[in-house]
Amino acid sequence: MSSTASSPQRVLQPGGYNGNDSRTSSTSSSFLRPELESSETEEAELVSVSWNQDSSCFAAGTSHGFRIYNCEPFKETFRRDLKNGGFRIVEMLFRSNILALVGGGPNSQYPSTKVLIWDDHQSRCISEFSFRSEIRAVKLSRDWIVVVLEHKIYVYSFVDLRLLLQIETHANPRGLCCLSHDSDTSVLACPGLLRGEIRVEHFGLNMVQTVNAHDASIACMTLTLDGLLLATASTKGTLIRIFNTMDGTRLQEVRRGVDRADIYSIALSPNVQWLAVSSDKGTVHIFSLRVRVVGEDSDSTESAALLTQQTYSNSLQGLVSPATGTNPGSSLSFMRGVLPKYFSSEWSFAQFHVSEVTQFFAAFGSHNTVAITGMDGSFYRCSFDPVNGGEMVQLEHIHFLKTDNRPR
């Protein structure tokens, strides 16, 4: 075993995070009363950006602490600037006051081998998990705290912090792991033991499904909110594939391009009708999905429940159906099997161009909009035509690290 977790000394109350606690907190003294930095210090350097579970907010880890931003309307909701440096990982739990923090970045005095569970209402660390190797990612849900190392994943209960599961994985330097966030399903997806393989844990069904997604190593993945569909890309970065997590069946394959690319993000719309992909090629692509859609541009729990009923029947006929728009294909697609494979591929339905010199991460907003955050401190919001596709329209562009975005 390359790492071990310490035993946290705190019971959390994920319902409201305000319940009485009979145990003593195990905390670092520097976190009990963090010293806020003066507003006149040098501008913070951006270390990381990450969406919350429903993409309504994002967190920015900086060289001085962290900041939280609301997307619609765009607003910096709060910031914490600390004298002891910043955080490489800032993971939100929806819009609650609970975050997971991992140190890193310039001049950070917080270790990259420790997860700090931070209660921002109390402005203190309420629990911690220590490991022997660097933490690659942390994922939160209402039920779990998931810590991702390069070769192992630890799953803890959010209620009492018990270790529930340890998963051995293929080399995972990107910290790939994703969770479902629907009350009716409990799903975790992560790299399997073999290259290009994904392991899907259906906790509610006590079932493990293996998906042979790609020949090359996995570069990016995401689940629908109910965990029943999985989208993946490999380190080649040319194809994105969508799978049924119940039986591992491939439902659709779309093509980002012909040249190799580093895929930065994959996002699925709440209504499971659209897929967004960002890469180092400087284009955010939108694809139309051929999966059954309940309602139009709806993210209601009723829609999710109906999709759950359809997919848990293991019926592929219930999963695949036409969407509003159609991804364009090659005019030579009729020669499928004769010409190279890319001539018969599905290409992107809509596009938005950003800089190629920095990483961008895309997520879906409301009413056919896409939010894009960049490691250069840029935030874009753009819209796409759900019928005709084409070039997306920019609605908003903000440099979110500027001081004039400070909460008022």
Question: Which of 139, 168, 197 delimits the end of a domain?
Answer: 168
51 and 82 share one domain = yes
| Assigned domain for 210 exists | yes
Look at residue 27 in the predicted model and tell me its pLDDT.
Answer: 38
Pairing between strand 263-268 and 274-279?
Answer: antiparallel
149 and 194 share one domain = no
Percent of the chain at pLDDT exceeding 90: 62
Q: Among 26, 51, 76, which residue's Cα sits nearest to residue 400?
A: 76
Question: Which of 168, 195, 214 delimits the end of a domain?
Answer: 168
Look at residue 308 in the predicted model and tell me its pLDDT.
Answer: 41
pTM over cut 0.75: yes
Q: Go through the chain and tell me how many residues it has.
A: 408
Tens of pLDDT, residue by residue over 291-319, are: 754 434 444 443 343 344 344 434 344 45
CATH code of the domain in which 151 resides:
2.130.10.10
| Assigned domain for 149 exists | yes
Judged against a pLDDT cut of 70, whether residue 147 lies above it is answered with yes
Tens of pLDDT, residue by residue over 358-385, are: 999 999 999 999 999 999 999 999 999 9
Mean residue pLDDT of the chain comes to 81
121 and 156 share one domain = yes
Look at residue 16 in the predicted model and tell me its pLDDT.
Answer: 36
> Starting at the edge strand that comes first in sequence, how are the strands of the sheet with 57-62 ordered?
46-51, 57-62, 65-70, 75-81
Q: How far apart are CA 140 and CA 159, in angstroms?
A: 12
Look at residue 4 in the predicted model and tell me its pLDDT.
Answer: 45
65 and 115 share one domain = yes
| Assigned domain for 386 exists | yes
Look at residue 319 in the predicted model and tell me its pLDDT.
Answer: 53
Structure tokens at 28: 């670092």
Q: Are 123 and 98 in contact (CB under 8 A)?
A: no
| Assigned domain for 20 exists | no
> Starting at the edge strand that comes first in sequence, how are the strands of the sheet with 378-383 ordered?
360-364, 369-374, 378-383, 393-399
Name every residue whose Cβ is closer than 8 Å to that of residue 284 and which is 6 or more positions away in sequence.
Answer: 276, 277, 278, 351, 352, 353, 354, 360, 362, 370, 372, 392
Q: Are 288 and 327 in contact (CB under 8 A)?
A: yes
151 and 243 share one domain = no
Averaged pLDDT for residues 132-157: 96
377 and 247 share one domain = yes
135 and 197 share one domain = no
Pairing between strand 350-353 and 369-374?
Answer: unpaired
Range of the domain at 286: 186-293+321-407
163 and 191 share one domain = no
Judged against a pLDDT cut of 80, whether residue 150 lies above it is answered with yes
Judged against a pLDDT cut of 90, whether residue 277 lies above it is answered with yes
121 and 252 share one domain = no
Q: How confident is the model at residue 327 (pLDDT cuts 50, 70, 90)?
A: low
Look at residue 184 in the predicted model and tell me its pLDDT.
Answer: 83
63 and 211 share one domain = no
137 and 164 share one domain = yes
| Assigned domain for 163 exists | yes
75 and 151 share one domain = yes
Look at residue 170 in the predicted model and tell me its pLDDT.
Answer: 97
Percent of the chain at pLDDT exceeding 70: 75
* Total count of domains within the chain: 2
Structure tokens at 239: 């194809």
Q: How far apart are CA 37 and CA 81, in angstroms?
A: 6
Look at residue 274 in the predicted model and tell me its pLDDT.
Answer: 95
Least confident of 4-18, 173-187, 234-248, 322-336: 4-18
| Assigned domain for 34 exists | no
Judged against a pLDDT cut of 50, whether residue 11 lies above it is answered with no
| Assigned domain for 22 exists | no
| Assigned domain for 307 exists | no
Question: Which of 142, 168, 194 delimits the end of a domain?
Answer: 168
Rounded to an integer, what is the distance from CA 48 to the centroid of its chain?
13
Q: Quick one: residue 392, left, alpha or beta (phi over 0 = left, psi -120 to 50 = alpha)? A: beta
Structure tokens at 50: 């990450």
Give me the sign of the Cα torsion angle 312, 179, 122, 126.
positive
